[in-house]
Each structure stands twice: as structure tokens, then as C-alpha cells.
């Protein structure tokens, strides 16, 4: 097990050591300067992120599910990313976020659940029937969370794919995974507060993974959310606009096609493009 004092996310940040004496504007500038380094840290991980996208898309193509797991900020970020897949891509129950301590821990911290190696594995086994077709993305800035290690151990026991997102190159998670994404963002503005740069890096990576997997799985046409659920006026207007832009039809024709396609944007696009081909 890595010693906590050796983890870069736990180190002292010399650049922010006087933050408690700064004005509000100086604090904002200080945080902004540190945040500028996050995208560069993520950029160094692009080859691994690309491989992870393909692994996730392959799991979906074999009718498997993508599971995110984590504790604290890491777990919450996974739950947020998973919750955005159904409205954005019309895919229900295929991307699942698991949180140490259960969903109540999203708003009511349950930090002790992080130390229990079974807290997430039990959810995978008992509530979701995690199986060999699924794939697990373990998220932990430090890589020290026992609940995440336990989840990885269970996934490997079943022979499923495993990926980790961490912010330390000597993370305990790396040897437990098939593929590691380690974005070293360095010491935090507030020492050890990994909801900051580490959390930003994790969010950026999760955006890439889920978006890339949905593209590779065929849930995007061009760069349009072709399976978005048009469930309110704004989204209906967006759907009609997307159909018009993709096919060159009028708004009235787009609206008619959308209704005939039971609000499936991709099907409406296909119907209009098929008509255009026949002309």
C-alpha cells in the first residue's frame, strides 16, 4: 500500500501557502492558475483514454454495462456522469454510477464507507448482478480507497475488464487494473482537497470516456445527439433544429418526421435522408 505522504495529491503546494492572507481576487487568480495545469495533465493520458473509450464501447456492443465506482468526490463524479447518459443519449441502465455508502452519500457524506472493501462490491453483486459482460471504471484520486480496491478485486474475480482513473502515478489501483489513466495534477490549492484539481481532471476524463464510448457505440450522428430524449420544449426545439441542420429539411418537415419516429431523432433523420436519396 502506498504511504499517504508519498502521494502527490497529498503534498504541500508552495504556490498557495499564503492563500489565507490573500484577497478574494487573489484567491480566484491563484486557483485559476492552478486549474490551467489540469488540461495539460489530462493531455498526457490521451493514449490511455483512447484505449479506454474502445474498451467501454466494446462492452456496450456485447450488451454489457459500464460501471463507475468511487468514494467521496470521485464517487459523486461517477454518479453524475452516469446520470447524464439517459437524457443525452437515450441509453437507460447501461451506464451505472456506484457510490461508497450508497446514493444517500451523494449529499450526506459517508467517509467511513471508503475503508470498507465490500461496500461497493456488495452493491455490484447483490443489487446489480454485475457479470462477465460488464466493465468497471474505478475512480480514486489517491488510489487508496479500500472500497474501490474491493470492487476491482470482485470485477477481476469475474474476469471482466477493469479501468482506473487516478491522479497519482504510484496509485495502488494501477496494478489492479487492465488499463490505468493516471493524470498527475500535483498538489492541491488546499492541501489534500482532491475535489479541486484532481476532481476537475476526473470530470474531464469521464466526459471523454462517456462521450467517446457513445460515439463509438453509434449514439451520435455527425456531432448531433441523435438519441437525445426531447422531453421539454427546449429539447423539442433542439431536436427539430438538429434534424433540419443534418438533413436540410424545413422545420415543419422535421417536426412531422420526429412525431412519426416516436421522438427518436436518429430515426427521423434516417427517414428524411432516405427520402432525399430517392428524389
One DSSP character per residue, the chain reads: ---GGG-GGGS--GGGTTGGGS-HHHHHHHHHHHHTTHHHHHHTTHHHHHHHHHHHHHHHHTT--EEEEESHHHHHHHHHHHHTHHHHH---SSEEEEETT-GGGGTS--GGGGG-TTTTHHIIIIIS---TT-EEEEE-SSS--HHHHHHHHHHHHHT-EEEEEES-TT-TTGGGSSEEEE----S-SSTT-TTTHHHHHHHHHHHHHHHHHHHHHT--BTTB-TT----SHHHHHHHHHHHHHHH---HHHHHHHHHHTTT-HHHHHHHHHHHHHH-
Residues 6 or more apart whose CB falls under 8 angstroms from that of 235 comprise 228, 229
* Residues constituting the chain: 279
Pairwise CA distance, residues 138 & 167, whole Å: 12
Pairwise CA distance, residues 177 & 165, whole Å: 10
**What per-residue confidence (pLDDT) applies to 111?**
66
Residue 92 burial by CB count (10 A; 0-12/13-18/19+): exposed, middle or buried?
exposed
Nearest to 15 by CA among 1, 25, 2, 29: 29
Catalytic residue among 58, 84, 184, 273: 84
The stretches in the chain having pLDDT less than 50 are 1
Angle at 131 between CA 106 and CA 215, to 5 degrees: 70
Tell whether the torsion through CA atoms of 149, 150, 153 and 159 is positive or negative. negative
**What per-residue confidence (pLDDT) applies to 15?**
87
Q: Mark whether 84 is an active-site residue.
A: yes
Catalytic residue among 48, 114, 188, 255: 114
Q: Mark whether 114 is an active-site residue.
A: yes
- What is the grid cell recorded at 191? 492541501
- What is the grid cell recorded at 62? 456485447
- Bridge partners of residue 67, in order along the sequence: 96, 136
Answer whether 68's CB lies under 8 Å from 139's CB: yes
Pairwise CA distance, residues 26 & 33, whole Å: 10
Pairwise CA distance, residues 10 & 170, whole Å: 12
- What is the grid cell recorded at 242? 438538429
Amino acid at each position: 500500500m502506498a504511504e499517504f505522504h508519498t502521494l502527490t495529491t497529498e503534498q504541500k503546494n508552495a504556490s498557495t501557502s499564503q492563500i489565507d492572507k490573500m484577497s478574494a481576487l487573489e484567491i480566484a487568480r491563484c486557483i485559476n492558475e492552478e486549474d490551467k495545469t489540469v488540461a495539460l495533465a489530462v493531455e498526457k493520458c490521451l493514449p490511455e483514454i483512447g484505449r479506454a473509450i474502445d474498451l467501454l464501447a466494446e462492452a456496450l456492443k456485447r450488451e454489457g454495462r459500464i460501471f463507475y465506482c468511487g468514494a467521496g468526490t470521485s464517487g459523486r463524479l461517477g454518479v453524475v456522469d452516469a446520470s447524464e447518459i439517459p437524457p443525452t443519449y437515450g441509453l437507460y441502465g447501461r451506464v451505472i454510477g456506484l457510490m461508497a455508502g450508497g446514493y444517500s452519500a451523494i449529499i450526506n457524506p459517508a467517509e467511513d464507507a471508503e475503508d470498507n472493501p465490500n461496500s461497493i462490491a456488495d452493491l455490484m453483486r447483490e443489487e446489480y448482478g454485475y457479470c462477465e459482460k460488464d466493465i468497471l471504471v474505478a475512480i480514486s484520486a489517491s488510489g487508496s480507497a479500500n472500497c474501490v480496491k474491493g470492487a476491482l478485486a470482485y470485477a477481476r474475480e469475474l474476469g471482466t475488464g477493469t479501468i482506473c482513473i487516478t491522479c497519482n502515478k504510484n496509485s495502488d489501483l494501477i496494478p489492479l487494473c487492465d488499463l490505468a489513466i493516471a493524470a498527475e495534477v500535483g498538489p492541491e490549492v488546499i492541501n489534500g482537497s482532491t475535489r479541486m484539481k484532481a476532481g476537475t481532471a476526473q470530470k474531464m476524463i469521464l466526459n471523454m470516456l462517456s462521450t467517446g464510448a457513445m460515439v463509438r457505440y453509434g449514439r451520435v450522428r455527425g456531432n448531433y445527439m441523435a438519441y437525445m430524449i426531447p422531453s421539454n420544449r427546449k429539447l423539442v426545439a433542439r431536436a427539430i433544429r438538429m434534424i433540419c441542420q443534418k438533413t436540410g429539411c424545413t422545420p415543419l418537415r422535421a417536426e412531422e418526421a420526429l412525431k412519426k419516429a416516436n421522438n427518436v431523432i436518429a430515426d427521423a433523420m434516417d427517414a428524411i435522408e432516405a427520402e432525399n436519396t430517392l428524389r
